[in-house]
Structure 1
């Protein structure tokens, strides 16, 4: 199980974007290569409020959460517990 994301902080966004795309491509290639003997998956939630953002001002965290929420069909970002359930599944 691999983890990819949607981007990164402003000071490292390009590295995070490249890294996340690399994970996506690696998972796709491994899934084709290893099928049907094994499954390869990645969890790739969009922005999620985690301790990673603890040093960001609360107003900025809220603004980021709202910005991402507007791009998601559920109109909200996932909670940490919801993302964890995907790994357990």
Structure 2
């Protein structure tokens, strides 16, 4: 889980944190990594979804606190899914 969290932190900082994203809405693949799946499931996949569902305004760089919140949401979803699948 620590490695997945590190990946989530990297993805969020590189693909979501900048103020202006030229490919916003298309930067997160639908498959290929558990974090990508979790991002779509939790509406943390693009700045548009972050604004609509999490009230995090687009057009501004994400603060470290906002990035931590997003990673926490992603990791909580992954943890719940892992527990659900292992039952």
Fold in common (TM above 0.5): no
Greater radius of gyration (CA): 1
- Higher strand proportion (structure 1 or 2): 1
- Higher helix proportion (structure 1 or 2): 2
Greater length-normalized contact order (CA 8 Å, ≥ 6 residues apart): 2
TM-score, normalised to structure 2's length?
0.30
TM-score, normalised to structure 1's length?
0.30
